[in-house]
Chains A and B, each alone.
Chain A
Amino acid sequence: MKRVYVNENRCLGCHLCEYWCAFANSGEDSIVKAFKLNKDAMPRINVEDSGEIHFAVQCRHCNDTPCVKACITGALSVDAEGLVSIDTERCVGCYTCVLTCPYGCIVIDEKNGGKTVTKCELCVKNAGGEPWCVKECINGAIVFEDRSKIL
């Protein structure tokens, strides 16, 4: 399965992916609306900055899926391809997944007071195709590739 990978040498720390991610998951039809009209727009990707180091991180859709295994409700699940997704209707906000994700990629939904968590679903539930962080990365730092074959 294609997953999102970041090349740290290329990531500029512009944080635009966060904005495009928030838009992509907002349900709005424009990024301006996502930020001007929709109070809930929130990114699933996070750019870490430390001095000259910048890189975007979001769910790795990893093979062990500790978050899925730890989920107490079954809200988190992984499909046959390896896509880890969340059914926020079933999430009770216990944060066990936050506790287990070694990448820090489960995002607490601050917009609803932390009642649920959310995460990157590779944009399959919105526009589909290439995830928006990849599509809009201004430096080609974020790529959408199948690297599982290398494993």
Chain B
Amino acid sequence: MNYVIIGNSAAGIGCVQGIRDKDKTGKITIISDEPYFTYSRPLISYWLGNAVTDENMKYRDRDFYEVNNVDTILGKRAVKIDAAVKKVILDDNSEVAYDKLLVGTGSKPFVPPSPGLDETGYFTFMKYDDAKAVKQAVTPGAKVLIVGAGLIGLKAAEALHEYTENITVIDLADRILSSILDEEAATIMQKHIESKGVKFFLGTSVNNFVGKTAHLKNGETCDFDILIMAVGVRPNVELIKDAGGEVNRGIITDKSQAVKGLTDIYAAGDCTESFDTSIGENRILAILPNAFLQGEIAGKNMSGQDFMYVNAIPQNAIGFFGLHIITAGSYSGDDAYEVIDGDSYKKLFIKAGKLVGFILMGKFVAKAGIYTSLIKEKIPLSDIDFNLLKDNPGLAAFSRGRRDKKLAEFH
């Protein structure tokens, strides 16, 4: 069997592990336009902030490719899939034949056009190379402007805080981290980040850039030495789209991760849409664990096993300046439980007698996985001691039978 994987990040690695779970001998080839050993993209901010060495950027042990018998074609971009003859064509016109193909092309930064932007020059913050470029440019005390107060923008801000205290973040939304936090949580986090010296302009955007100055729509101006555009990302769907696969915002797959409309082609990771069980709709869940799991499922199915990817929910675990957030699921409940204690915040979202989502911050993040499991396993809260659980996430709240299953059996 001849497996080809486009993409060398979590989905691709997951796919390798999924294939090797059963097929120890089939040929696996990974194609990536980045020239690096597989590395963890979420670590680029840590690397930039000098919290992680080059060595520790590696997502897997140094001997991963050898141990798993993987060929790599690094630094070359796949430009076309010829599904009819089962070939991938690379940017040097070379061809790679496949029996089974995984597309794990990830996403790319979305940079909205803005007058003067191209002239003034900017950085994005997705890849190792992005971080390297920023690191090369940044000088102690440099003025940094970050457009976008989402996960990427704020992680960049945290990293750059190691170099300068002169950081400004602007976002069109009226709160930071608007995709994962509600208003209370966002307010707490914003205050926390501001306490480190980072300035925010919210509910506004850049009107235009003039030299190293941004003119905001609210009339303010902001000088900068370094500009980072972190407004959003877009999935890399072109290969599939061109090959005739079904694409919405992201690539559409079935539960086996096979791309709809194509045969022997699978897709996983940020370039795909997943079925979010917490809301019952397809959406892009662009997070690393999701990418890995999808890749693994794809790999297993590519190697002839029969697995389905279910129970995907949005989930995030992230921290800024030592204040941690763990969130999951949807925030559209019919009931909620909320506790605020200083920087710590907890909100549990309940819908139809089940936990559907939560936001945890600060000291409340401990044992968050217990809540996650409630969402994923769709356990009716009436089956458990929710009064106990809402304040003390633990197995004590579960029925004896459920608990014995968790504790006394091998899983």
Q: Which residues of A are interface residues toward B (Cβ below 8 A)? A: 3, 5-8, 48-50, 53, 55, 57, 60, 62-64, 66, 69-70, 72-74, 77, 89-90, 92-104, 106, 108, 113-114, 147-148, 150-151
Contact = CB atoms under 8 A, between A and B. Distances in A.
B356 to A, nearest CB: 16
Closest 5 CB pairs of A and B: A104-B367, A102-B373, A70-B289, A50-B396, A101-B369
Interface stretch (B39-47, B213-221, B272-280, B346-354): B39-47
Interface of B: 14, 40, 42-43, 46, 51-52, 56, 58-61, 288-289, 292-293, 296, 315-319, 322, 324, 326, 328, 365-370, 372-373, 376-377, 385, 388, 393-397, 400, 403-404, 406-411
A84 to B, nearest CB: 12
A151 B408 CA distance: 12
A3 to B, nearest CB: 6
B56 A104 contact: no
B368 A72 contact: no
6 contacts: A72-B43, A73-B43, A92-B43, A93-B324, A95-B319, A103-B406
B395 A104 contact: yes
Nearest to A92: B46
B322 A114 contact: yes
Contact of B369 (A74, A93, A99): A99
Contacts of B322: 113-114
Contact of B367 (A53, A96, A98): A98
A53 B396 contact: yes
Contacts of B372: 99-100, 102
Nearest to A99: B317
A143 to B, nearest CB: 10
B75 to A, nearest CB: 22
Contacts of B409: 147, 150-151
A74 B46 contact: no
A106 B396 contact: no
A53 B322 CA distance: 34
Contacts of A7: 408
Contacts of B385: 50
B396 A49 contact: yes
B43 A104 contact: no
A4 to B, nearest CB: 10
Contacts of A73: 40, 43, 52, 56, 59
Contacts of A48: 394-396
Contacts of A72: 40, 42-43, 288-289
Given A90-B56, A98-B367, A102-B369, A114 B393 contact: no
B46 A60 contact: no
A48 B396 CA distance: 7
A93 B365 CA distance: 12
A61 B406 CA distance: 11
Contacts of B395: 48, 55, 57, 103-104
Nearest to A62: B411
Contact of B292 (A69, A89, A95): A69
A144 B393 CA distance: 25
A98 B58 CA distance: 21
A108 B360 CA distance: 14
B411 A63 contact: yes
Contacts of A3: 410
A114 B324 CA distance: 9
A93 B59 CA distance: 15
Contact of B388 (A50, A90, A94, A151): A50
A99 B288 CA distance: 13
A89 B328 CA distance: 27
A44 to B, nearest CB: 13
